[in-house]
Amino acid sequence: MSKRSRIAITGPGLKKQGIVVLQSFFIGFFTFIELWLRQGVGVITGVVLLASFYGGIRYGRPGTTYVATVTPPLAFAANTLLWILILEGFSLSRIAIGLVAALASEAPFLIIGAIYGWYIFLNAKAKKRPSKARS
């Protein structure tokens, strides 16, 4: 019988730039798909946002948690604005309504991901701090 082996990720993980590029790409791709098919973002983009938070924290190098936590909301807002401009045109009222509606529909996913990311970041920061001995 042949022995199956899992492919292990070698090396320390993604750098800050790699995290930003991958999160922006995946968020932008799925945002485009949902905006193109449904004319609005929904659960699929929300799940991709949560996976983006988790993946950036999990597969990043030590010290990249801050970038992995801050990038998804910014990437989502920028990608949504870009795709609304391309798909809807340059009507200021449509752009504003589309952007606010997209951010509002994804707010629960963004909040859950941000809470998780900031918890991991602040917990790691607290563990690095030396404990104060009581006199």
Is the distance from CB of 101 to CB of 40 less than 8 angstroms?
yes
Domain segments of the chain as ranges: 16-126
Give me the pLDDT at residue 7, please.
61
pLDDT the model gives residue 6: 62
Q: CA-to-CA distance for 83 and 87, rounded, in angstroms?
A: 6
Q: How far apart are CA 121 and CA 70, in angstroms?
A: 11
Beta bridge partners of residue 60, listed in sequence order: 14
Q: What is the pLDDT of residue 14?
A: 87
**pLDDT tens digit at each of 135 positions of the chain:** 455 666 666 778 889 999 999 999 999 999 999 989 988 899 999 999 999 999 999 999 888 999 999 999 999 999 999 999 998 888 899 899 999 999 999 999 999 999 999 999 999 999 888 877 655
**Exposure string for 62-76, b = 16+ CB within 10 A, e = fewer:** eebbbbbbbbbbebb
Tell me which residue has tokens 């951010």: 103
pTM comes to 0.84
pLDDT computed for residue 5 by the predictor: 62
Nearest-5° Cα angle at 5, 50 to 56: 20
Burial class of 48 by CB neighbour count within 10 A (0 to 12, 13 to 18, 19+): buried
Judge whether 66 and 125 are in contact, CB under 8 Å. Answer: no
